[in-house]
């Protein structure tokens, strides 16, 4: 899904809905008829401010929780090896353990085998 579409669906539409609700519904039917217009507009702006702050807080909390869970329970993406660019010529230097059978080579290597130095690219390789 394109990022601009996510921005529209998650930010612009709710912000517009809050704006329209504050203009039409606030301050409500419980306001006395003699209330000055200045106080009515002040209440509308306060409700708009609080609504947009709530939207910003909910979006940021959802973003932090989602990315935190991705970091906590991430599995390697299928392209992790291409992101890592392992140093296969010097594989023996990075072996930590494992087993070797007649049909497979199951060796555990350290993360130092990656030649890519961009930590962001490597970390993103574990977010699924």
pLDDT tens digits, one per residue of 30-62: 888 889 999 999 999 999 999 999 999 999 999
SS3 128: coil
Q: By residue range, what is the domain housing residue 22?
A: 3-72
Q: What is the pTM of this model?
A: 0.66
Single residue among 33, 51, 72 that ends a domain in this structure: 72
Look at the block and give the residue holding tokens 């594989």: 91
Q: Are 85 and 66 part of one and the same domain?
A: no
11: its two tokens: 């930010």
CA of residue 122 relative to chain centroid, distance:
17
What span, in angstroms and rounded, lies between the C-alpha atoms of 7 and 5? Answer: 5
Q: Are 29 and 48 part of one and the same domain?
A: yes
The separation between the first and the last C-alpha atoms of the chain, rounded to the nearest angstrom, is: 16
How many domains in the chain?
Answer: 2
Q: Are 98 and 68 part of one and the same domain?
A: no
């Amino acid at each position: 899904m394109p990022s601009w579409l996510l921005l529209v669906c998650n930010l612009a539409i709710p912000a517009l809905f809050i704006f329209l609700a504050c203009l039409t519904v606030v301050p409500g039917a419980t306001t006395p008829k003699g209330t000055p217009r200045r106080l009515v507009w002040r209440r509308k702006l306060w409700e708009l401010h609080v609504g947009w702050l709530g939207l910003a807080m909910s979006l940021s909390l959802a973003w932090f929780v989602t990315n935190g869970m991705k970091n906590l329970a991430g599995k390697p993406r299928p392209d992790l090896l291409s992101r890592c660019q392992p140093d296969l010529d010097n594989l023996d230097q990075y072996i930590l353990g494992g087993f070797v059978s007649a049909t497979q080579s199951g060796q555990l290597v350290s993360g130092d085998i990656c030649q890519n130095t961009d930590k962001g690219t490597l970390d993103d390789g574990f977010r699924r």
